[in-house]
């Protein structure tokens, strides 16, 4: 049954649950797909087909014994390689961690296992999740299945391309400034950054701890909702994880109703300066919402102008501190500098070889921003901007239930286009970064194809903290409205990718 790979996770769950197919069959179909296409796409850094099939057989055994552990039991999933896995190496896309095998599972990984979801492998990412294209992975980039000469987004380009190339029905990503949502937009997949604290970060290789959040990557909104329900919840191992439940995302995704909902178009992100096809699809979706009885209002978020500047001070400051632990003593790589090997020299030699250029750039930037002479001028100023952005959101959410914008200014760009121009790469995240600075949830939903290049475009929905359910409710409605117009689902537009 090769068409198993083109099904959504909820469809697969139903087939497994009715006994029509087994988890082993579904898992094997996806592993075979990887054999056929991953040499070209390079979504995975690591796979162990044997371990995946053992987990699938265990899911089948449990089901036969009447123990159904979750609505997604038996459905396989890929996991970004910055999540700790006890049975597989965890590199975070960096040479410095090459060969490191964690002594424990991240909480999210534990939850996936407990939910009966076989893990298909670890997906590629920009080194330590710094980047927007996977070009900063120490192990080579992942490709966009829609056009192999283009980037699949980043940092989670492995997780987006693995779903878009039908190697996995679901994947886990992490989003610090857009690394779930941007890859979703450029590969025609759904990606959610939940409310900060909704999903435990325990076992996530930290980039910037006050911004990082783990979330789902999926084919459609319902699948993303079901996955968020599996991975969310309080965790005593993560002191920032929320104590309360945010309710059922799955139930929200099934409501299919936007009547009376107020959608705020962010003036600063309304499409000016964006690629024409991105802006055009965005306006069409606003019209669809209005026609369905939603209210469209404009909201002003003047401080967003400074969001990227603030983010690129706060993130490097936190990252430079988080990455200090990669010192050649505790994890991974160790480089001996020759005869006079003092501890400082071993550390310096290891970090010189082990870290790539973008990581070094951010460590230098962050260390400088935190240095005593610059702290107030840079880091302190950035924190003030962060507060202003949170206030902009508060004012905007007084007028609107959900804020909307295109997820990214352009469709997938070509490899090499931005790699030598850090600022151009950073500007890419203009629409996604504010949500991380404010800790609010955001989702990118496929919004059709841009006329000029035929590539996927995303629409981003944002909600107040803890109101993730609104995103799934409105996102699922929009997806259904699109499918009615197109006569097929977004994934049915995805190219076949006949490679071997």
Point out which residues bind ligand GLN (CB under 6 A).
Answer: 129-132, 155, 175-179, 207, 315, 429
Quick check: bond before 478 cis, omega within 30?
no
Active-site residue (options: 34, 155, 165, 200): 155
For residue 133, the tally of other CB atoms under 10 A from its CB is: 30
- Identify whether 160 is a catalytic site residue: no
CA distance 120 to 147: 24
Backbone φ, ψ for residue 191 (5° rounding):
-140, 135
Closer of 168 and 365 to ligand GLN (Cβ): 365
**β-bridge mates for residue 444, sequence order:** 191, 460
CA distance 500 to 485: 34
CA distance 462 to 241: 20
- Identify whether 303 is a catalytic site residue: no
- Cβ pair 159, 217 in contact under 8 A: yes
Closer of 429 and 467 to ligand GLN (Cβ): 429
- In the complex, what is the shortest distance from the CB of residue 429 to ligand GLN, in angstroms, rounded to a whole number? 5
- Cβ pair 204, 214 in contact under 8 A: yes
Active-site residue (options: 43, 160, 161, 179): 179
Closer of 5 and 172 to ligand GLN (Cβ): 172
For residue 280, the tally of other CB atoms under 10 A from its CB is: 16
Please choose, from the candidates 223, 135, 140, the residue with its C-alpha nearest in 3D space to the C-alpha of residue 183.
135
Backbone φ, ψ for residue 128 (5° rounding):
50, 30
Residue nearest to ligand GLN (CB): 179
- Identify whether 155 is a catalytic site residue: yes
- In the complex, what is the shortest distance from the CB of residue 386 to ligand GLN, in angstroms, rounded to a whole number? 15
Sequential DSSP letters for 35-94: HHHHHHH--EEE--HHHHHHHHHHHHHHHHTT---STTTT--EEEETTB--TTS---TT-
- In the complex, what is the shortest distance from the CB of residue 162 to ligand GLN, in angstroms, rounded to a whole number? 17
- In the complex, what is the shortest distance from the CB of residue 132 to ligand GLN, in angstroms, rounded to a whole number? 4
Active-site residue (options: 10, 22, 80, 133): 80
- Cβ pair 257, 473 in contact under 8 A: yes
Sign of CA dihedral 297, 480, 156, 200: positive
Residues with catalytic function: 80, 155, 179
């Amino acid at each position: 049954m090769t068409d198993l790979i083109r099904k959504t996770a909820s469809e697969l769950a139903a087939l497994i649950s009715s006994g029509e197919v087994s988890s082993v069959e579904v898992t094997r179909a996806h592993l075979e797909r990887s054999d056929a296409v991953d040499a070209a796409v390079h979504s995975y850094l690591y796979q162990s087909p044997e371990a995946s099939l053992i987990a699938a057989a265990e899911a089948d055994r449990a089901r036969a014994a009447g123990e159904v552990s979750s609505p997604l039991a038996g459905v396989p999933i890929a996991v970004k390689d910055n999540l700790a896995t006890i049975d597989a190496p965890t590199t975070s896309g960096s040479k410095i961690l090459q060969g490191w095998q964690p002594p424990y599972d991240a909480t999210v990984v534990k939850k996936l296992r407990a939910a009966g979801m076989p893990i298909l492998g670890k997906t590629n990412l920009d080194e330590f999740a710094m980047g927007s294209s996977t070009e900063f992975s120490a192990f080579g980039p992942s490709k966009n299945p829609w056009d192999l000469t283009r980037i699949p987004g980043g940092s989670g380009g492995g997780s987006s391309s693995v779903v878009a190339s039908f190697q996995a029905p679901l994947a886990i990503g992490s989003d610090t400034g857009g690394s779930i949502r941007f890859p979703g937009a450029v590969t025609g997949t759904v990606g959610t950054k939940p409310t900060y604290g909704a999903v435990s970060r325990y076992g996530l290789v930290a980039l910037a701890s006050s911004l990082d959040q783990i979330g789902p990557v999926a084919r459609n909104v319902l699948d993303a909702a079901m996955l968020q329900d599996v991975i969310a919840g309080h965790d005593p191992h993560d002191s920032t994880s929320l104590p309360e439940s945010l309710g059922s995302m799955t139930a929200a995704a099934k409501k299919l109703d936007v009547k009376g909902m107020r959608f705020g178009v962010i003036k600063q992100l309304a499409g000016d300066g964006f690629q024409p096809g991105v802006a055009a699809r965005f306006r069409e979706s606003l019209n669809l919402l209005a026609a369905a009885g939603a209210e469209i209002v404009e909201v002003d978020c003047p401080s967003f102008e400074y969001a990227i500047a603030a983010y690129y001070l706060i993130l490097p400051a936190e990252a430079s501190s988080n990455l200090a632990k990669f010192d050649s003593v505790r994890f991974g790589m160790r480089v001996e500098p020759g005869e006079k090997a003092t501890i400082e020299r071993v550390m310096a030699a290891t970090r010189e070889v082990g870290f790539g250029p973008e990581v070094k750039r951010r460590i230098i930037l962050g260390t400088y921003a935190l240095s005593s002479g610059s702290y107030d001028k840079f880091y302190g100023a950035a924190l003030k901007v962060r507060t202003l952005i949170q206030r902009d959101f508060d004012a905007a959410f007084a007028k609107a239930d959900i804020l909307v914008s295109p997820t990214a200014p352009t469709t997938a760009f070509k490899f090499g286009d931005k790699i030598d121009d850090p600022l151009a790469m950073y500007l890419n995240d203009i629409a996604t970064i504010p949500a991380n600075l404010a800790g609010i949830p955001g989702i990118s939903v496929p919004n059709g194809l841009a006329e000029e290049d035929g590539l996927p475009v995303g629409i981003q929905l944002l909600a107040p903290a803890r109101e993730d359910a609104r995103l799934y409710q409105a996102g699922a409605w929009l997806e259904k409205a699109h499918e009615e117009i197109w006569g097929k689902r977004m994934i049915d537009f995805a190219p076949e990718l006949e490679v071997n």
